Every structure is written in C-alpha cells, then in structure tokens.
Amino acid sequence: MVILETINLGKIYGKKETAVNALKDVNLKINKGEFVAVVGPSGSGKSTFLHLIGGLERPSNGTIKVDGKDICCLSDKELAKYRRQEVGFVFQQYNLIPVLNVKENIELPLKLDNKKVDEDYINDLMDLLGLSERKNHLPNQLSGGQQQRVAIARALSAKPSIILADEPTGNLDTKTTEEVMELLKMSIKKYNQTLIMITHNVNIAKKADRAISIVDGKLSTSENKNSL
C-alpha cells in the first residue's frame, strides 16, 4: 500500500537571476511500513525533500500525496495539524526541553495538541527504547544516545504514520549508532510506521529496505538495499 507519493515535486528558492532549483521534478512512491534511506552529497536537496513531505515548507510545483490526500492543498492550519498528528520528526540535534524530564519531553507533542496521553502506549515506548528507568531524568543527566532515544520516543508519541529523520545518528559514536538504529527499526516494525531517513552513513543505508539518491535536486537512483 502506497503511503507517500510525490509527482513532479519541485522547490525553487529566490527569484530570477538568484533563483536556485533545490528540487526538480521528483517522482517517487513509498509504501506503508517501508524504511527508505535518502542519500546524496551535501546540498543536493535531501533536506529540502524531507521538509516538503513533512509539511515544513510548501513546494513551488508538484504534488505530495500522503495516504491519498494532497497535502499541498491544505491550509496553513490544516498543514500544522498534519505535522502534529501524521508526521514524527527526528533530527541530528535532539532538541529536548532542558527543564522537562524524559517522560515529559516524550509527552510534550501530545499536550501541545491538547490530546489525551495514552499512558500504556508511552510506557510501552519507554520500555522498547530502554528509557523506563530514566523517565524522571533531565536531558543533561543522559548520554547522547539516551537523548536521541528520547527524541525518537517523542517523534513516535502521537502515533504518526510517517517518521522523518535527518541524520539522526550524526552526533553518535559507532556503537551507539548501531543501538539507536536497531531500536528505531524495531519500533517502526512494531507500530507499522514508515521511516524516511537522510544519511551519509553507508552502513545505515544498507539497513534500509531501499535507498534513493538525490543529486543536484534530482532523484538519481532508487535501489534495493542489496544493490548498495
């Protein structure tokens, strides 16, 4: 089942002689439950692609269908709701609130959206990510790997259908990267979510179901992991 489809997707920054084509006519289909790695050189348009499908920016042209709905037609208010409820974001910087403990950081998106916290689900998430014994700790009492686990749990807290990750292990050592990736794969499999991840790490790309390459704003290749 296709969860995400982009049709002739493009993004232009600036106008006339200063215009930059950050993304050009990207046509792509991603299935529900799929783990897709997005690779390519710096400045190739990978983050722009992630921002567009996450509703953080609007495209200059083209269509983005999520579960059959064109999010490009949504109002600003509807797009904000889409970001809160349908998408979970994980970035290289953990962006945790320093005065909130682990559990409070995880529940924050739900409370900002005035949604009732599913305590059983949150506890299940913390168990899965090895955070239960740290739930009352503040971010500065955690290691980098533990903070990224909290960021992942926060991204999963609203039960989004799509997880968008931009170099989520960029600040972690090799061992912690492996642990975080295994936990992330385990969680999306358990909750049947789709993961789209930007990475420069070849080993992470090999763990994906499929890798797509964006070069100079264009979709260059779409490969099975066995081809990497």
- The domain limits of the chain are 2-227
- Mean pLDDT, the chain, rounded, equals 91
Nearest to 80 by CA among 112, 105, 34: 112
Distance CA 160, CA 195 (A): 10
Whether pLDDT at 174 is above 90: no
Largest CA distance in the chain: 56
Alpha helices in the chain (DSSP H): 46-53, 76-85, 102-112, 119-128, 144-156, 174-190, 202-207
Q: Which of 38-52, 111-125, 170-184 has the lowest mean pLDDT?
A: 170-184
Q: Which of 145-154, 170-179, 219-228 has the lowest mean pLDDT?
A: 219-228
Region 129-148 average pLDDT: 93
* 2-227 CATH: 3.40.50.300
For strand 20-31 and strand 2-13, is the pairing parallel, antiparallel, or unpaired? Answer: antiparallel
pLDDT range class, residue 224, cuts 50, 70, 90: low
In this prediction, residue 182 carries a pLDDT of: 85
Integer angstrom CA distances of residue 57 from 51, 97, 107, 184: 6, 24, 25, 25
In this prediction, residue 126 carries a pLDDT of: 92
What does the chain come to in residues?
Answer: 228
pLDDT range class, residue 165, cuts 50, 70, 90: very high
Q: Global pTM?
A: 0.89
Question: Helix (H, G, I), strand (E, B), or coil: what is residue 138?
Answer: coil
